[in-house]
Amino acid sequence: MNLALRDVRHHAGRFVLTALGVGMLLMVVMGMGGIYRGLIDEGTLLIDSVGADIWIVQRDTRGPFAELSRVPRTLVDRVATVPGVTSAREFVTHTIQREHAGKRLRIVLVGLSWPTDKGEHLPLIAGRPLAQNHYEIIVDRSLKLSLGTKLRLGRETYTVVGLTRGMTSWGGDGAALVTVNDAQAIQFDQPGEAIRLERAARGARGEHTDFVRRQPQMLERATGPSTNIPALGPPSVSAVIARVAPGVDAEAVCELISAWGDVTAMTHAQQQHLILSGPVERSGRQLSLFRTMLTIVSAIVMALILYTLTIDKLHDIAMLKLIGAPNRVILGIIMQQAIVLGMLGFGVAYLLGREVFPYFPRRIVLVEQDLLELAGVVLGISILASGLGIWRALRVSPGEVLSR
């Protein structure tokens, strides 16, 4: 009978508990890798869903996702005249935090260019796209809002008409999509008292201006709503996005637009790189550090357990040496136990992780390549962890059989 198999049967309880403990550690390692993959998906999902070939943002910024960006809405008309561009539209995004039904909602608000973009391209799992210019909103299911929910944002109430899946930012915040006008109304909303004070301040400044003194009716205009003042343009947008014709080099179009001096143009791939090389990369480094530490802990635990199992069967090992068994047989026994322990731990980690990971607050994506790499690492750890037990087994003298 195989001595390794006999020993496993003899210490089945200890072996199963050890495999469960190692599996829990490996599950955390597996989960951290999945969180990093989830960060990549979340960081690029909004960029991919918009379907833009070129992003035009404020000069020398990395907006609109990695950094604040402000460009005039009139930029849409300028971009639309560039050779090779088939369409251009404004894009607005910002993060807000609100209270709803006693719960905190942290939302990435995205403005769709109505009526060009109604949200038909979104991965809807329920409901419909936007059907009107105001008071309708599409939300990600991570916000836990149902169809028909009334959500108060700014001065208006919006009705949830559609639900999406997986539309989150790299920080895990669920996305909510409205029209650009509604997104700007929410972004620049101010309390009534703040608006009154601003109008009073404009009036006070106007009273000391010669131009207003010569034209008193301008003072009345200055103390009214800011939208009635011709000199004040419409609110700026976060970016302008454009599509290019098939066969047109997007990078060449970006170079042409970037030469204007007031904006920076980036391709779809460059925008993705900005996200992945910024906050996502830093989070990935931190997760990699913890993964490495837990992997080392797993190796130490396995080494100590295998050493203990080796100590328990020193008499059997001495007997094998006494009857002339070669060292490779003894090495094989210990290494077989180590490999079985590692593979059982990996199996426990995978099966338990598939049941537990969906309940994590962050999205966890398990990629086959990562799982294969982790399995290879576990195999290597198992072989290395057996080294301590092998070292102790080789020091056993055949004469120890006679000492019992």
The verdict on residue 315 lying in a domain is yes
Which has the closest alpha carbon to 216: 232, 227, 203?
203
- Asked whether residue 83 falls in the same domain as residue 195, the answer is yes
Q: Taking Cα atoms as reference points, which of 304, 298, 293 lies closest to residue 386?
A: 304
Q: Tell me if 203 is assigned to some domain.
A: yes
Q: Is the pLDDT of residue 216 over 60?
A: no
Domain assignment present for residue 28? The answer is: yes
**Residue 273 belongs to a domain:** no
Same domain? For 172 and 77 the reply is yes
Final residue of a structural domain among 201, 232, 264: 264
Residues 190 and 222 in one domain: yes
Count of beta carbons in the 10 Å neighbourhood of residue 302: 28
For the stretch 181-197, pLDDT in tens is 888 888 877 666 766 77
More confident residue, 165 or 229: 165
Domain containing residue 189? 50-264
Residue 271 lies in a domain: no
- If asked whether residues 259 and 139 sit together in one domain, one would say yes
The torsion angle over the Cα atoms of residues 43, 45, 49 and 51, rounded to 10 degrees, is: 60
Residues 175 and 244 in one domain: yes
Residues 293, 230 within the same domain: no
Give the residue-averaged pLDDT of 14-34: 84
Q: Is residue 29 one of the residues assigned to a domain? A: yes
Among residues 209, 235, 264, which one ends one of the domains? 264
* 130 shares its domain with 229: yes
Query: Do 180 and 243 share a domain, yes or no?
Result: yes
Tell me if 272 is assigned to some domain. no
Enter the tokens of residue 358. Answer: 């969906």
Total domains, the chain: 2
CA-to-CA distance for 33 and 29, rounded, in angstroms? 7
Q: Do residues 234 and 164 both lie within one domain?
A: yes
332 class by beta-carbon count within 10 Å (0-12 exposed, 13-18 middle, 19+ buried):
middle
Domain boundary among 194, 229, 264: 264
Tens of pLDDT, residues 273-307? 887 777 677 777 888 888 888 888 878 887 887 77
DSSP 132: S
Contacts of 12 (CB under 8 A, 6+ apart): none
Both 82 and 225 in a single domain? yes
pLDDT band, very low/low/confident/very high, at 161 (cuts 50, 70, 90): very high
Nearest to 279 by CA among 59, 34, 45, 36: 36
Give ∠ CA 207-212-216 in degrees, rounded to 5.
Answer: 95
**Rounded mean pLDDT, 25-39:** 86
Both 223 and 98 in a single domain?
yes
HSE value, Cβ hemisphere, 13 Å, CA-based, for 226: 16
Residues 289 and 232 occupy one common structural domain: no
Taking only the tens place, the pLDDT of each residue in 99-143 is 888 888 888 888 888 888 888 888 888 999 999 988 999 999 888
In this structure, is residue 274 part of a structural domain?
Answer: no
Q: Residues 11-18: what's their mean pLDDT?
A: 74
Residue 1 confidence class, pLDDT cut points 50, 70, 90: very low
